[in-house]
Amino acid sequence: MKILILGAGGMIGRKLTAALLRKGELTGRPIQAMTLADVVETDVPASSVALRAVAADLSAPGVAAELVAERPDIVFHLAAIVSGEAEADFEKGYRINLDGTRELFEAVRREHAASGYQPRLVFTSSVAVFGQPLPPVVPETQVLAPLSSYGTQKAIGELLLADYSRRGFMDGIGIRLPTIVIRPGKPNKAASGFFSGILREPLAGLPATLPVGDEVRHWFASPRRAVEFVLKAAEVDTSGLGVRRTLDMPGLSATVGEAIEALRRAGGEEAVALIQREPDDAVKRIIESWPEAFDPQRALALGFEADASFDEIIRRHLEDEVAGNGKRA
């Protein structure tokens, strides 16, 4: 069992690498080799598995072909420029999020043509593929009408994944991850970053800014759940998916106010007092274009499971990131 992780240096990529090394197998077959690719060199953990780090830009000529030439059994395609950055830098967003994805899929197709190669390919998409107006609970047949370049690029990736899978070039599965909370580490450029910030920073005794109101409702998953989703996507039976190869992942539908109440229970009034309200219309417009809740029937039927509450999300953060001093990251 050989595994390729693209975007291995990101938050999910690092946690996925650690989880795979702990697990030791995938689809019942022992993991023999893993290639960890990212635009910057990824730390290689000590392990009995043959680990190789590759620093390369997936959209550059030849990079995808070289990575696919190893014929990994499973490809995790997590690499992406986040929403805020893709909106700020149009060309970079399209180059990484669209051209990079297409180069990867084309490399797989060429290897398929040469040798019959057909890997399982797990693609992380996003609820940002949806626009407005949206019903309060989004059905699985909802039109993709993104209000951001990031959402557009992810929607195009989903369409390509479906067509390349329908053609038999790969066994692709896309998963639309909820917004991940609590992201460990420093704030990133995602427009959704504050959802983590208003919990992570106060839990560490630091101030955090909140650009939207308490009434804003959104769709969440913990990092631990997100890694479970990605792992499960690598193993799940895709034969019943048909042409819609991308699934809405189960999430927790909750408001900013509910997150703050959970923070109050976990960290007390002094934690809540560290949240500074600084309304930001640009962030508000992006967030309000995102869905509030889904009806992820297909994923639930396949056994994907959501977090139960913001209290659980905070508890997992404290277990995984604070108590263990980041060892599980």
Active-site positions read 150
| Closer residue to a second copy in complex, CB, 168/205 | 168
The angle subtended at Cα 54 by Cα 50 and Cα 60, nearest 5°, is 145
| Closer residue to a second copy in complex, CB, 28/61 | 61
Phi/psi for 294 (5° steps) reads -125, 165
132 burial level (CB within 10 Å; 0-12, 13-18, 19+): exposed
The string of DSSP codes covering 101-117 is HHHHHHHHHHHHHHH--
Minimum Å gap between C-beta 94 and a second copy is 9
Minimum Å gap between C-beta 106 and a second copy is 9
With contact defined as beta carbons under 8 Å apart, do 289 and 282 qualify?
no
What is the rounded distance in angstroms from the CA atom of residue 321 to the CA atom of residue 52? 26
Minimum Å gap between C-beta 238 and a second copy is 15
> Hey, how many other C-beta atoms are within 10 angstroms of the C-beta on 126?
27
What is the rounded distance in angstroms from the CA atom of residue 8 to the CA atom of residue 79? 8
By CB under 8 A, name the binding residues for a second copy. 90, 109, 131-132, 140-147, 149, 152, 155-156, 159-160, 162-163, 166-167, 242-244
The string of DSSP codes covering 172-218 is EEEEEEPEETTPPSS--S-TTHHHHHHHHHHHTT--EEE-S-TT-EE
| Closer residue to a second copy in complex, CB, 14/245 | 245
Side-chain-facing half-sphere of 210: CA atoms under 13 Å: 22
Label residues 243-272 b or e (16+ Cβ within 10 Å = b).
eebbbbbbbbbbbbebbbbbbeebbeeebe
| Closer residue to a second copy in complex, CB, 52/166 | 166
Minimum Å gap between C-beta 293 and a second copy is 16
Instruction: For residue 282, give both structure tokens.
Output: 């640009």
| Closer residue to a second copy in complex, CB, 108/227 | 108
Q: Please give the single-letter amino acid code of residue 20.
A: L
| Closer residue to a second copy in complex, CB, 17/152 | 152
